């Protein structure tokens, strides 16, 4: 039976890879790597470096394909994403069927952790639902960008006995729920924290966390938001892409 690993490789630092992930990497015959837009070169290179660094005494193949573009002009977010997943499911299904022998093992290497804001597991579920190709699969957790951010700022995400909310830039732009004190924001291309006005928040922001390009900023949101926006714009211009995350911590009344 074919086997697929979905392996979280951690967010940024190749040292974030776990022993469990290394063991899985060493069982893989075919790595499926999707090119994704502008950041593609760096991301493909990181994945290849992880294979080279951690796979010992085993030959493997790399299947590199181009990710279909997502329709970013669609008026409704979720249907556009679902259509995109379906396109990708068809591509992956074909790759698994054609490129992987009956007893071989394939893998998708997921930036960060497969359980947070990543589509790989949804696509695997779609392939299984289509039932054209049979395989077993296993998920290996990885260090997420959130954990890297917290570690580098040396903070605990929750306050004592309180909750933590994880959300997207899109949701922050729509307005935060009232009763939420600590909010981690991912996928925020528009610096939505600016829209929070001068309500009392601290921000712990980081880009390229855990890498040589890491930028960290912490402090009062009102005082630091201009700096963060500027640093983010400069970094994106310099590198071609930016990946950032932040924690908003509401001041106690």
DSSP for 171-203, written as a single string: HHHH---TT--EEEEES-TT-GGGGGTTSSEEE
| Smaller CB separation from a copy of itself, 64 or 163 | 163
**By CB under 8 A, is residue 126 in contact with a copy of itself?**
no
Residue with tokens 């992987």: 100
Give the containing element (helix H, strand E) for 114. none
Token code pair at residue 163: 């909750």
**By CB under 8 A, is residue 70 in contact with a copy of itself?**
no
Give the span between the Cα atoms of 123 and 200, in whole angstroms.
40
User: Which of helix, strand or coil describes residue 79?
Assistant: helix
Q: How far is the CB of 225 from a copy of itself (least distance, A)?
A: 21
Selected from 56, 98, 177, 252, the binder of a copy of itself by CB under 8 A is 177
Selected from 55, 95, 121, 216, the binder of a copy of itself by CB under 8 A is 121
Token code pair at residue 204: 């712990």
Selected from 3, 47, 88, 171, the binder of a copy of itself by CB under 8 A is 171
Give the span between the Cα atoms of 159 and 70, in whole angstroms.
37
Angle at 8 between CA 6 and CA 14, to 5 degrees: 135
**By CB under 8 A, is residue 18 in contact with a copy of itself?**
yes
Pairing of strands 182-186, 215-220: unpaired
| Smaller CB separation from a copy of itself, 152 or 222 | 152
Selected from 144, 192, 201, 203, the binder of a copy of itself by CB under 8 A is 144
Angle at 148 between CA 145 and CA 149, to 5 degrees: 85
**By CB under 8 A, is residue 87 in contact with a copy of itself?**
no
Residue with tokens 């394909």: 65
Give the span between the Cα atoms of 218 and 208, in whole angstroms.
15
Site string for a copy of itself, 22-41 (x = CB under 8 A): xx------------------
Give the containing element (helix H, strand E) for 33. strand 30-35
Stretch that binds a copy of itself, among 66-74, 90-98, 174-182, 224-232 (CB under 8 A): 174-182
Selected from 98, 103, 161, 198, the binder of a copy of itself by CB under 8 A is 161
Q: How far is the CB of 201 from a copy of itself (least distance, A)?
A: 17
Q: Give the binding site for a copy of itself (CB under 8 A).
A: 8, 10, 13-20, 22-23, 77-78, 81-82, 113-118, 121-122, 137-144, 146-148, 150-152, 154-158, 160-168, 170-171, 177, 179-180
């Amino acid at each position: 039976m074919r086997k697929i690993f979905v392996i979280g490789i951690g967010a940024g630092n190749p040292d974030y890879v776990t022993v469990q992930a290394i063991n899985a990497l060493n069982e893989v015959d075919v790595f499926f790597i999707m090119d994704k837009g502008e950041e593609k070169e760096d991301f493909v290179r990181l994945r290849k470096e992880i294979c080279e660094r951690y796979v010992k005494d085993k030959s493997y193949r790399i299947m590199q394909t181009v990710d279909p573009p997502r329709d970013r002009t669609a008026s409704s977010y979720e249907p556009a994403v679902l259509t995109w997943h379906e396109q990708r499911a068809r591509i992956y299904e074909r790759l698994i069927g054609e490129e992987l022998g009956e007893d071989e093992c394939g893998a998708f290497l997921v930036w960060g952790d497969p359980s947070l804001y990543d589509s790989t597991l949804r696509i695997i579920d779609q392939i299984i639902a289509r039932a054209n190709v049979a395989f077993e699969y296993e998920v290996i957790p990885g260090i997420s960008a959130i954990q890297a951010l917290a570690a580098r700022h040396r903070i605990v995400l929750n306050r004592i006995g309180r909750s933590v909310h994880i959300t997207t830039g899109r949701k922050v732009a729509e307005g935060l729920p009232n009763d939420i004190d600590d909010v981690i924001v991912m996928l925020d291309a528009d610096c939505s924290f600016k829209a929070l006005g001068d309500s009392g928040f601290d921000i712990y922001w980081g880009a390229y966390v855990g890498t040589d390009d890491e930028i960290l900023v912490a402090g009062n949101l009102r005082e630091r938001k201009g700096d963060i926006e500027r640093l983010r714009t400069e970094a994106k211009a310099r590198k071609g892409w930016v990946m950032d995350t932040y924690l908003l911590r509401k001041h106690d009344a």
